[in-house]
Amino acid sequence: MGNNVWNRFAPIYESAMKSQKNIYDYLYKQISLAVAGKCVLELGTGPGMIAKHIANNAESVVATDYAPKMIETAKKGFVPSNVRFEIADATDLPYADNSFDIVVIASALHIIPNPEVALSEISRVLRREGTLIAPNYIFNGKKNLWQRILSLVGIKFAHEWTADQYASFLHTNGWEIKKSEIVNGRIDLMYVECRRSL
């Protein structure tokens, strides 16, 4: 899926996600706890909702998206002084090896055609003892009404993992899940915090 869809969706993304308020409230709380005092890279920031909410806890946040309009939207309104918004592709990051303590990629791996490439890039830029926070939507094999609505506006998923399939995908690509929880919503979310497998 090209970034044209996300460029079009950028102005209304935050409003559309209000239907998933319980999921976002959960993410803000859990990620804020995990990033305390850390240098954070967020991939797929969209309009910057997570980056802005976790900034008070983090040392610094570089929040990226590959859709220019999403970054343009993210820069509107109040931006904490320790947050920097940049255009970047999760599968080809412009950052040096071992640059960040934590990488956050929330609800984005399932829309990337080759998510294993993104995980490889994350591993490269993450410091040795760093944490990957990769909450992702999970599916049960049947499209619900919300998924059908998203499809109608051009948002399609490259991968529709179940919880077990998502955990297996992470493990196969070198990540060990240290924390996991299912959060129910219009589309359920699997929250995970991972470390590199030894």
Model pLDDT for residues 53-107, shown as the tens digit of each residue:
999 999 999 999 999 999 999 999 899 999 999 999 999 999 999 999 999 999 9
Query: Looking at the 3D structure of the chain, how many domains does it have?
Result: 1
Q: Looking at the predicted structure, is the pLDDT value of residue 13 above 60?
A: no
Residue 198 and residue 191: Cα distance in Å, rounded? 22
Q: What CATH number is attached to the domain comprising 100?
A: 3.40.50.150
Neighbour-count burial for 9-32, b at 16+ CB within 10 Å, e otherwise: bbeebeeebeebeebbebbbebbb
Q: What pLDDT is recorded for position 124?
A: 98
Indicate the pTM of the whole model. Answer: 0.86
**Which tokens go with 60?**
């610094």
Are the C-beta atoms of residues 90 and 112 closer than 8 Å to each other?
A: yes
- Could you give the CA distance from residue 154 to residue 177 in angstroms, rounded to a whole number? 32
- The model's confidence at residue 21, banded by pLDDT at 50, 70 and 90, is confident
| Alpha-carbon gap, residue 197 to 187, rounded angstroms | 29
When pLDDT is cut at 50, 70 and 90, the band that residue 197 belongs to is: confident
Domain that holds residue 167: 3-196
Average pLDDT rounded to a whole number, residues 173-177: 97
Of 11 and 118, the structure prediction assigns the larger pLDDT to 118
Residue 140's pLDDT is what?
Answer: 77
Q: Please, how many CA atoms are within 13 Å of residue 195, restricted to the half-sphere of its CB?
A: 8
- Tell me the average pLDDT across 39-63: 97
